[in-house]
Structures are given as C-alpha cells and as structure tokens.
Amino acid sequence: MEEQLQLSWTKITDKILGWVNSIILNLPNLLVALLVFVIAYWLSRNLQGWTNKYLKRVIRQPSIRGLLANIVSIVTIVLGLILALSILNLDGTLKSLLAGAGVAGLAISLALQGTLSNTFSGLFIAIKDELNIGDWIETNGFSGKVIEIDLRNTKIKESDNNIVVLPNKLILENPFKNHGLTRRIRTTITCGVGYESDLAKVKKLSIASIQEIYPPNLGERIEFYYTDFSGSSIDFLLRFWVDSKDNLTALDVKSEAIMQIKKTFDKNNINIPFPIRTIRNEK
C-alpha cells in the first residue's frame, strides 16, 4: 500500500515538474503571445471607433455603422488570437478551433437564413444610398416617410400617422419609388372653363398665376393644354415644376395652385362651370 502511494506521489510530482519546466521553457513565447493579444485587443477597440467615425461619411444609419465597426473589432481580436496560438505552437488547437468555427458558422447561417438576408439587404441599402431617413417612398403597397432603417427592417410613417414595418429584403427585391432622390417634381392639375371664355386669355392668365408662385428653373416650362370638350366646360391640363422631397409637399403645392388659379379667374370674371342637371316630370 505504501509503495503504491509512493509511486502515485512520484508520478504527480514528475508531472508537476514537467509542467513547470514546460512553462519556464515556453515563458518567452508565452509573454510574446500575451503581448500580441493585448496589442490586438487595443487595436480592435481603436479600430472600432475609427471605423465608426469614417463610416459617418458614407452610411447615415447608426445601427448599420455600429454593426460594421463591431465586425472590424471582432476580426481584429480573432486574428490576434490566431497569431498568439501560433506563437505558442498550438497548431493542433488552432486547427480544431477553425474547424469548429466553420461547422458552427454553417449551422448558424442555415438557421438564420432569413435574418441574414434582411441584414445584408439593410447593409446594401445603406451603402448604395438609395434610401435615407426622411425620404418619402412608395413600396409594397405602402407610402410614407422613412423614419428608421435598422439591420432587419425599415420603418415608414404613412400620412395617417400609422407605422409600417417592412423587412429590408422586401424593399430590396421589389420596386420602390423614392421622392427624395430628386429635387424637382412635376405637378399636374386639371380644370375647366365655360364655353363663352376667351381661351387664349385663360391660357395666358393660368400660366402667369402659376409662374407667380412657382417660377420654373432654367430649362423648365409651365405646360398648358386644352384636353376636352365636356358637357359643361372646356377642360384643360396644367403642368409645372416644384421643389419637393415627399408626396405631402406635392399635395400642398396642388392645393396652393388651385387657390391661386381660382383667385385669378374670379378677378378676371372667368367662369368655372359645374354640371347642371334638369329633371323633367313628363306625364
């Protein structure tokens, strides 16, 4: 019994001495590996801030900037860990970690396929700068102002103040109209005047009244066309250019234009007729 205990104790002490000798022999490598990892950690923290600061010039969405900055930070730490393990001659451990990471990454990508699709769609939308917060868009049967773009969804506020949450994938894969991509839009209004009206005078006054409140830029013109002989009036169409960033602005402009034309027609005794229905009682 004493011999067995003595033998066990000898094995334990030999093992501990072997570990101590191994640590002493590898102490320079251990210190270098530790230094490399500390430098990688310091670089990751600073690169995260530098990346976020640089991306402010390119990407306006804070959530997407934060994601990209975190990815840069994580990649830097992982590279530092790989280099530290290589310095310690732990190639076998390194290969096992890389193999495990590959399998885990494949499983996660399959499980989160829809989420990753929305995430990459959000990144693409942010980088392409085709959609920004504050733009008025029409997509997937909805129209409203973009109030938030995150890694999964885009939120738009409709004119009735309801919030619509759309997955980024739907916006990227379907056509959408962005009123914020152009500074000038063309608005159209229609009206009619009585058959007794001087049509040349009506045209001149209509163009002048619109030009007074919405003057055209260089290369633009106010368009006026008579379109139809209707039952009680001669109808015309008027098109003109305005500054606009959303659909509500176009509605405001059309309202102002209608009031301006009505005011001008009243001042010049131009009649805007309305249909009259006569009911006969025949016996």
CATH code at position 224: 3.30.70.100
pTM exceeds 0.95, yes or no: no
Residues 105 and 47 in one domain: yes
Q: Is the pLDDT of residue 256 over 60?
A: yes
Q: Is the pLDDT of residue 8 over 70?
A: no
* 263 lies in some domain: yes
The arrangement of strands across the sheet holding 176-178 comes to: 163-167, 153-157, 142-149, 136-139, 176-178
Q: Of 64, 79, 111, which marks where a domain is finished?
A: 111
Structural domain total, the chain: 3
Beta-ladder partners of 186: 241
Residues 220 and 252 in one domain: yes
What pLDDT sits at residue 139?
87
Round the average pLDDT of the chain to a whole number and report it. 77
- Across 248-253, average pLDDT: 74
pLDDT in tens, 91-102: 555 556 555 555
Residue that wins the pLDDT comparison between 272 and 247 = 272
pLDDT in tens, 168-219: 888 888 888 887 777 788 889 999 999 999 999 999 999 999 999 999 988 8
What pLDDT sits at residue 14?
60
The tokens describing 42, both together, are: 């310091």
CA angle centred on 165, ends 159 and 170, rounded to 5°: 110
Residues 171 and 190 in one domain: no
- Across 9-16, average pLDDT: 64
Residues 146 and 219 in one domain: no
Range of the domain at 86: 10-111
CATH of the domain at 149: 2.30.30.60
With a pLDDT cut of 90, the percent of the chain lying above it is 22
CATH of the domain at 83: 1.10.287
